[in-house]
Copies of this chain bind each other. A is one copy, B any other.
């Protein structure tokens, strides 16, 4: 019931600008320009991609899907904060792990993943989290699986040391990124071509969003929602969650040229 206003808001970011009888155009999902509307076809002035026709009905019928990859030992707040945010945003969230066997989060919470890497469907967004993430970042079966799904993945989202999993898949090369505060130096060594920030709550590279440690995942997820569904939706979610502590300026947008 408390989500009714939010569900209405979910239709607003685009439809609020749409005038009857006119066709509008948007940039394919790629970066901060995703939620801009244009009156005619052409190229996006921000990223140069070809604009596509905007169809609000299609968007409403197809909620964004997001795969939460959870390894045994995953930090509980790393994934739960973003799960709360994306759930409120109407994203279709599912969990996937190396196997379907129950896993322990934080050594406490027993979780049964929805899928294993053998049968997980594709998702618009692929999310990874800290907490024993090193076991996954050296697991070639998982890394190969992530790479094989790359063509179907629009965005990557990492919290805390989940960044090391994306790094192992070669996804952070030459990007500006961040990770858990104690792991900044390790990530700099692992990905020498990346600029690893130690003073950003999240860093948005357009396709790939990395956040700082644990609780920073909440802010990063709100930022993703702000980009993909509009700032009004993100603010409404923060209000519902009583997370008035969200400060967008604590994040960095580093759109690649």
Contacts and interface: CB of A to CB of B under 8 A. Distances in A.
A84 B80 CA distance: 10
Given A77-B83, A110-B111, 12 more contacts: A2-B182, A76-B87, A77-B81, A77-B218, A80-B109, A87-B106, A95-B109, A110-B113, A180-B242, A181-B242, A214-B240, A214-B241
B80 A93 contact: no
- Counting contact residues on chain A (CB < 8 A from B), the size range is 35 or more
Given A112-B112, A213-B242, A240-B214, A107 B87 contact: yes
Interface of A: 2, 75-77, 80-81, 83-84, 87, 93-95, 102, 106-114, 180-182, 201, 212-216, 218, 240-243, 245
Contact of A84 (B76, B93, B212): B76
5 contacts: A77-B81, A77-B83, A80-B80, A87-B108, A215-B243
Which of A201, A212, A241 has the most C-beta atoms of chain B within 10 angstroms of its own C-beta?
A: A241
Nearest to A238: B215
A242 B212 contact: yes
B77 A241 contact: yes
Closest 8 CB pairs of A and B: A80-B80, A77-B84, A245-B245, A215-B243, A110-B112, A213-B242, A214-B241, A76-B80
A218 B93 CA distance: 23
Given A181-B242, A242-B181, A242-B213, A109 B83 contact: yes
A212 B240 CA distance: 11
A180 B201 CA distance: 27
B77 A106 contact: no
